Structure formats: structure tokens, C-alpha cells
Copies of this chain bind each other. A is one copy, B any other.
């Protein structure tokens, strides 16, 4: 693309560094910005800069936070004795949006993946082990993906916590709510048969 100005080119290059955004989309974004007034472009730039200057990770659960500890860890309404282990803070957002959970989180910031060279020491497992307290913690919920990496990580953590004789649970797996059996893949369907629960 032959852009008529260096300023334009720089903006397009910067914006096209986002995942899934190519030069054409970046140019469309730049054109959108050029039509905005100065203050709203300034607000965007500030919001972007704030991400680096005003965000940190919670010292307890590694969730994103604006202060040393995140809102969830600080809240008196959350049950500190239940810890839900998730892969990243997006998963916290997903679980929070269900409105079904009132405990705390522990963000691993990744999953054990030997193929990618990610071992237990590369993710926030040691801080989880330090945090789990035999007398205080009631339950550790493993809410990791039903993938090889998720299962490996769940297995590793549950093995490490075994000796503490704390309740360790895993989120259930099966067919999706509203999902037709006909469209469920056979592994999921097989697992949901094995994992059937008594209802009467």
C-alpha cells in the first residue's frame, strides 16, 4: 500500500500489529480516527497508555488490578476460602459474567505445555501452592480448558495439593446447555455419558 504520508503510514503500521488486523482494516481505523475530533482521539491514546501505566497484577491472585490487590481479593463479599484456578484473566471475566461464583480466583497466566516449553515454574503455580492453606481453604476449583494442556495442569495442581486433603474439584464437562445431541462431538458425548449424574 502506497500511503501519501509518513504519519498515516506509521499509524497504519502500528494498528496493523494487532492480531487479526491487516493493513486495510488498519487504514479504515485510521480514516475513522481522522474524522474524530482531537479530544476523542486523545481519549483513545490516553486509554491505551493507561493500560501500561495504571494496570498491574494482583499480588494475591494475579488478576489485573489497578491497585496492589484486585477488587475481588479486596471484597468482603467474596468467599476467600474458595479458590477458582483459571488460565488467564479473560476466564475470570467469563466466570464473573455467569454470576454463579462468589469465591476468589487464582490466575495461572498460562497452562503447562511441554510442547511449547512451558513448565509448572513458568506459570503462577508456586504462588497458588503458597496461598492454599490447609486450615483456611475449603475448596480449590480447577476451571481449566478441557484440552491436553488444561488437563495436564489440573493433574499437576491436584497432585501437588493432594497431601493437604483439601476438596479439589473440576468444572463439569458434557454437552452444552441448549446443545442438540446430534451436533455434540463423540468424545464430549461419551464423557457426558460417563459423567452422568443421578437426578431422582
Q: A-side interface residues toward B, CB under 8 Å?
A: 1-8, 10-11, 13-15, 17-21, 25, 27-34, 36, 38, 40-55, 63-66, 70-72, 89-90, 92-93, 96-97
B63 contacts A31, C-beta separation under 8 Å? no
**A interface, over-half SS:** helix
Q: A41-B48, A44-B15, A51-B41 are in contact. Are A7 and B66 (CB under 8 A)?
A: yes
Alpha-carbon separation in the docked complex, A53 to B34 (Å): 10
Report 15 cross-chain contacts, Cβ distance below 8 Å, ordered by A residue.
A2-B93, A4-B65, A4-B72, A4-B93, A5-B55, A7-B50, A7-B54, A8-B64, A11-B47, A18-B29, A19-B32, A33-B48, A33-B52, A38-B53, A45-B45
> How far is the CB of A153 from the nearest CB of chain B, in Å?
20
B residues less than 8 Å from A4 (CB atoms): 63-65, 70-72, 89, 92-93, 96
Are A90 and B31 in contact, with the CB atoms below 8 A?
Answer: yes
List of B residues within 8 angstroms of A51 by Cβ: 7-8, 11, 30, 33-34, 41
B48-A90 in contact (CB<8A): no
Q: Are B50 and A11 in contact (CB under 8 A)?
A: yes
Complex contacts, A17 vs chain B, CB 8 Å:
32, 40, 44
Complex Cα–Cα for A84 and B5 (A): 19
A51 to B28, alpha carbons, bound, how many Å? 13
Is there contact, CB below 8 Å, between A20 and B11?
no
Contact A49 B55 (CB under 8 A): no
Across the interface, name the chain B residue whose C-beta is closest to A40: B17
Residues of chain B within 8 A of A53, CB atoms compared? 38
Write the chain B residue with the least CB distance to A57. Answer: B34
Cα separation A33 to B21 with both chains bound (whole Å): 13
Known: A7-B66, A36-B52. 18 other contacts (CB 8 A): A1-B93, A4-B71, A4-B92, A6-B66, A7-B47, A7-B50, A10-B47, A11-B47, A14-B47, A15-B44, A15-B47, A18-B32, A19-B28, A27-B90, A27-B93, A34-B52, A44-B48, A45-B45
